[in-house]
Structure 1
Amino acid sequence: MEEEKMQATVMALEGKALSWFHWWEKCNPNPTWDGFKIAVVRRFQPSMVQNPFEQLLALKQTGTVEEYVEDFEKYVGALRSIDQECVRGIFLNGLKEELQAEVKLYELQSLSDLIQKVLLIEQKNVLITKKIHPAYIPRGSGGSRTNSYTKTVTVESRPNADRR
């Protein structure tokens, strides 16, 4: 029943979401389950109000594979039904070119296998890059490291004055 769904959902809310719900409930004296679902999405995931299929097709990897997978799952999860072969193609198409080329070397049947393989490929590529360029910091890692290629040189202002 709609009323039971609302009660169960409200019991799970906390913090910002609970405060928002109390305000929303006052503004909507006769709430419906469908109205509540739409209001929640508009408030907490406004990007999902747009066509999720359109957003899925436009998605491109700019950071790590893990970040890309998280966004991909958000958009593909909002779709009711979609052909799994199509989903694999959309996922593959959104990856960075170097990852696309390498993962295509494997004949992976499921999206899950594809995701696991591309995560491993990215890890391998990061390790190789670190060995070649020790100061390399992958985008999205948040860490900082000093550049091992930079050397400090001290130049004396009076080179021969103290050597007598």
Structure 2
Amino acid sequence: QLKVCIEEVSKRGNDGEGSNGRGRGPRYGPNANYTAKPLKLDFSRFNRKEDPTSWVCRAEQFFRFHATPAVEQVSTATFHLEDDAQWWFQVLMQETPNATWEEFKSGIYATYGLHQFLDYFRELTKLKQQGTIQAYQTQFNKLLAKVGYLPPDRQVSCFISRLSDTVRTEVQANCPTNLSTAISLTRLYEAKNQS
């Protein structure tokens, strides 16, 4: 069956038909007819109904993907503000006409975020596994994203310390050095305990 597939691909190449079937001429190398399709990434809108942390994270992903220069980040983001957020931005521009992305983020967090009311690190350290590892991991990651940078050993410590007793002991015994390893071990032991 593999031989048939190879022959079919070879035949298409010899007929001048590319891998996409559009007849773009003969091949000159393994990827000669491959053209990456332009990726359309949407820049989501912000209208204060969601936590600005997620919106800012998606905006920064957009900026990295498109290599948006720092001087264009604020103006790009502001095209995607709606309702009250647009009014807020107009006031920001009156106060700080050349606001940097960091100043913009600080302003949007202060105005629309819950940061001034919540201590996310405290929430993270109080989080306790009560259901599945998946549910705990999801909640942990949400809070960790809002806390900001924590060294890997602190991430592991926070994650493990609030696991159920049986799983926590087994995971600690393996001394994971990063969060991914701790999560993998946790899932492994959860599956073992369920079988």
SS in 2 for 1:82: coil
- What displacement does 1:26 show? 4.4
Counterpart position of 1:62: 130
Post-superposition offset of 1:49: 5.2
Match of 1:97 among 165, 168, 185: 165
From the superposition, tell whether residues 44 and 91 of structure 1 become closer, same or farther in structure 2 (CA, over 3 Å). Answer: farther
Post-superposition offset of 1:57: 1.9
What TM-score results when the alignment is normalised by the length of structure 1?
A: 0.55
State the shift of 1:48 in Å. Answer: 7.1
Q: Deviations over 1:72-128 (max 9, x none)?
A: 2233334454332232111111212232123234343322111112123334444x3
Q: Relative to structure 1, is the Cα distance of residues 62 and 19 closer, same or farther in structure 2, using a 3 angstrom cutoff?
A: farther
1:88 aligns with 2:152: no
Q: 1:45: Cα distance to partner?
A: 4.5
Q: Which fold has the larger relative contact order, with Cα–Cα distance below 8 Å and residues 6 or more apart in sequence?
A: 1
C-alpha contact (below 8 Å) 1:42/1:49 kept by paired residues: no
1:12-61 alpha-carbon deviations (Å, 9 max, x no partner):
x4xxx633422423454525445532343356641575333322222222
Displacement after TM superposition at 1:6 (Å): 1.3
Partner of 2:178: 110
Matched residue, 2:89: 25
Distance 1:100 1:48 in 2: 32
Residue segments in structure 1 that go unaligned for 5+ positions in a row: 129-164
C-alpha distance 25-83 of structure 1, shift in aligned 2 (>3 A): closer
> CA, structure 1 residues 24+60, in 2 after alignment: closer, same or farther (shift >3 Å)?
same
Paired positions, count: 123
Structure 1 CA distance for aligned equivalents of residues 73 and 177 of structure 2: 37
The percent identity for this pair of structures is 22
Q: What's the TM-score, normalizing by structure 2?
A: 0.48
CA distance in 1, matches of 2:120, 2:186: 23
Pair 1:34–1:116, CA change in 2 (3 A): same
CA RMSD between the two structures: 3.2
Q: How does 1:11-50 map to 2 (within 5 A)?
A: 11=79, 13=80, 18-30=82-94, 32=99, 33-34=101-102, 36-42=104-110, 45-46=113-114, 50=118
Any idea what SS the aligned residue of 2:183 has? helix
* Contact preservation (8 Å) 2:155, 2:178: no
